[in-house]
A and B are shown apart, each in its own frame.
Chain A
Amino acid sequence: MEQSGKDKRIGVFVCHCGLNVAQSVDVEKVVQEISSYPGVVHAEHYQYMCSEPGQELIRKAIKDHNLNAVINANCSPSLHEKTFRGLVQAEGLNPYHQEVANIREHCSWPHANDRQTATRKAIAIIKATIDRLKLNMALTPAVINLNKKVLVIGGGVAGMQAALRIANGGYEVVLVESSPSIGGHAAQLSGTFPTLDRPACLVAPMMAEVAAHPRIRLYAYADIEEVSGYVGNFAVKIRAKATCVDETKCTNCGRCFEVCPVAVPSEFDRGLSDRKAIYRPFAQAVPFRPVIDVLSCAHFSDDGCSACEQVCSENAISYDQKDTVIEEELGAIVVATGYDLITRGIAPEYSDDPDIIDGMQLERLLSPTGPTGGVVKRPSDGKVPKEVVFIQCVGSRDQEHGKSYCSRVCCLYVAKQSLLYKRSIPEGQAYVFYMDIRSDVKGTEEFVQNVVEKGRTMYLRGRVSKVFRDGDKLKVWGVDTLTGKSIEIAADMVVLATAMVPRTDAKDLARVLNIIADQNGFFTEAHLKLRPVDTLTSGIYLAGTAQWPKDIPDTIASASGAASRILSLFSREELLHDPAIAYVDEELCVGCGQCVSICAYKAITLDEKQKLASVNEAICEGCGACAATCPSKAMKHKNWTPKQFFNIVDVFTKEYE
């Protein structure tokens, strides 16, 4: 497969780029010197090679001089490599027989004041590119199969939105949710800023649509166990956890909940109420069915309770039900695993008191479906709290104890909560300790101002140093930095706006999916600005707060973005893959397997029997790490071979001889 380079008839086209190149590089001289360089059969310069007359000039030269390889000496390959490769391909050449010599960004611009040196450097860059091109192989993109089915991981707002957009676009979706019901955190909220919509108006219809959609298959109470493959061709193993309830028999009568003797804190009410070991997480749960939490169920402990089995007239209880592993094959994945709230332990200055709650717990207290029916009552004694202190930025913007980033939604939900609290308890007084107010979402600055000015919530700019129990009250010590006064409030309840953090298992999932989680555990996008919902692994996209703290509008936007990326991916019949990837010279390979362990994409497999490595062309991203590591030099990176690098290096080091 290696090329000798003798067969190449190379044409070199030097662009003036107006004066951008020509001002500091003597293009006449360049062409003169390059014309006689070995392998070059034609060289010329022109004002704008990328313009139509410039391109026509290249087309004509290819015909007139029977060129089969082309060097374009101009701007960075990131700008016009695609243009010129397309051009030579249209003329019947292999596009990989074209290379760009970057003499603008890397030469004429940074050395604008030294024409002689810049000219010499431009000549060296072009010669090196010629000698590299001589050994370029003709390559054809690999065609890979495209399975037009999508896995969405996570059934919160982001996952539901992505699943619905894709399913409505006509493709099959497998939606996997780890908890017993979809809906996510949004289903727990009491209302949303700045419109105060009830989540029932936002989330419940989405949940119902997901449940009823003919193209969405929902696996709730299920985890992703294994993902292999690549874009267009993923194979996924899903572990559906045993519910211990036969869904086909259960009538949802609810008698099992009544008789179950085990009570554990409800996840949905964030510990403010109890649920049973057999339970439905909330009244609007989808799927609407009970599950047995085997970790707390007394049947699975020593006493072997079977209260629910005895009361069930339908014989729906099935304690010996096992987890099932489902295998699915699909072409793209949306990661929408959402967030958690940082644990309270990070702020020891706020003592561990039942009346110090976090924002999500207050959401439950404000919610009509919550443990107090929407009337705010404090957890310790059920008393209506008359003085409530909100503390913002607990664990966020706190590099020392928590997270350095801003959680983005807290300023806004605290304003909302203080407003809803005042509606619930009109005679109550709310105080908010804040660092800054960040309200950059549409309509929210006006919303917060309204709460501050008309809502009679007292905003205090400063931190709270300590919260501690003092009889019936919680003493809050803080400071108002605008007046310079220290503040002491005897509060009935304190609400901490704790930082959003990724799911605890986010890093494990990143490993399974072969995507990147940043130092905080949030999944990393391919490019913050240009590819915000892509990951660096083709075919895997991000939606919602698994990527970064987001509010609901941004979550919906990113989920819609991920769905649209997949719909455009699926608009093709098959996929093309860059062919400048690794290949194995089987004569040289000794089967040591070093390439297998260094490959970040698991693209290389080793045949232990034959002692031969092989590259999966569809997975290989062409980074070249394996070729650099192969001790016998059997692994080669197409068109980036050692001989090509030697050629380049030789031009550069012999230049001064």
Chain B
Amino acid sequence: MADDNKDFEPILVGFFCNWCTSTAADLAGTTRLQYPPNIRPIRTMCSGSVDPIYILRALLSGADGIIIGGCNPGDCHYVSGNYKARRRIAGLKTILDTLGLENDRVWLKWISAAEGQKFAVTMRDFTEKIKELGPSPFRKNWSV
């Protein structure tokens, strides 16, 4: 499978909270860390404000992978938004299978504002993983 996907450039959408992960992405940039350009960042106020319908919309529109980034447990700028995100993503994952999507296409990661390095590494790992999984079945089905 991996061979088939050699030239595959996945469409990746990231929902990054304003206070931690988006700031970590800023830091990764400031320190000139390089990571694959596939990720399309969306700044949200909180990981807890990411409605699963945004993720489904992206997946149904052909995104190959979605990553949500929030503050570390206990450090949420809005007290407990990251825990809310964790529960929502856990719920969402239970229906991915029904849609015919691999669980690994949706990632939830805690990346604090200080973790630019972790942000870059995570983006690298995420892109690699989705490349391994190949194009989203939705994308394939639609390209008749």
Contacts and interface: CB of A to CB of B under 8 A. Distances in A.
Nearest to B33: A110
B78 A104 contact: no
A653 interface: yes
A384 interface: no
A62 B117 CA distance: 40
B108 interface: no
B61 A109 contact: no
Contact of B51 (A78, A623, A627): A627
B82 to A, nearest CB: 10
A30 interface: no
B84 A109 contact: no
A601 to B, nearest CB: 8
Contacts of A107: 29, 37
Contacts of A645: 42, 51, 54, 57
B32 interface: yes
A111 interface: yes
Contacts of B88: 628
Contact of B37 (A78, A117, A518, A621): A117
Interface string B50-85: 111110011001110000000000100111110010
Contacts of A78: 23, 26
A600 interface: yes
A642 B32 CA distance: 33
Nearest to B138: A653
B13 A649 contact: yes
B141 interface: no
Contacts, number: 137
Contacts of B34: 110-113
B11 A655 contact: yes
Interface residues of A, number: 52
Contacts of A516: 74, 79
Residue in B23, B32, B57 whose Cβ sees the most chain A Cβ within 10 Å: B57
Interface stretch (A40-48, A121-129, A285-293, A367-375): A121-129
A624 B46 contact: yes
B48 interface: yes
Nearest to B143: A657
Contact of A637 (B29, B42, B43, B49): B49
B26 A653 contact: no
Contact of A536 (B32, B49, B77, B120): B77
A279 B77 CA distance: 45
Contact-residue bracket for chain B? 35 or more
B11 A652 contact: yes
A625 B45 CA distance: 9
A625 B46 contact: yes
A533 B41 CA distance: 32
A114 interface: yes
Contact of B29 (A110, A514, A628, A642): A110
Given A110-B34, A114-B37, A519 B49 contact: no
B6 to A, nearest CB: 17
B129 interface: no
A420 B62 CA distance: 75
Given A76-B26, A110-B35, A642-B51, A623 B78 contact: yes
B61 A625 contact: no
A637 B35 CA distance: 32
Contacts of B79: 514, 516, 536, 600-601
Nearest to B42: A648
Contact of B48 (A102, A108, A118, A625): A625
B11 A653 contact: yes
Given A128-B42, A580-B45, A653-B11, 7 more contacts: A536-B79, A624-B45, A646-B54, A649-B42, A652-B40, A652-B42, A652-B58
23 contacts: A78-B26, A105-B26, A110-B28, A110-B120, A124-B40, A128-B40, A536-B77, A600-B78, A600-B81, A622-B45, A623-B45, A623-B46, A625-B46, A625-B49, A628-B48, A628-B84, A637-B49, A642-B51, A649-B13, A649-B42, A652-B63, A653-B62, A656-B62
Interface of B: 9, 11, 13, 23, 25-30, 32-35, 37, 40-46, 48-54, 57-58, 61-63, 74, 77-81, 84, 88, 120
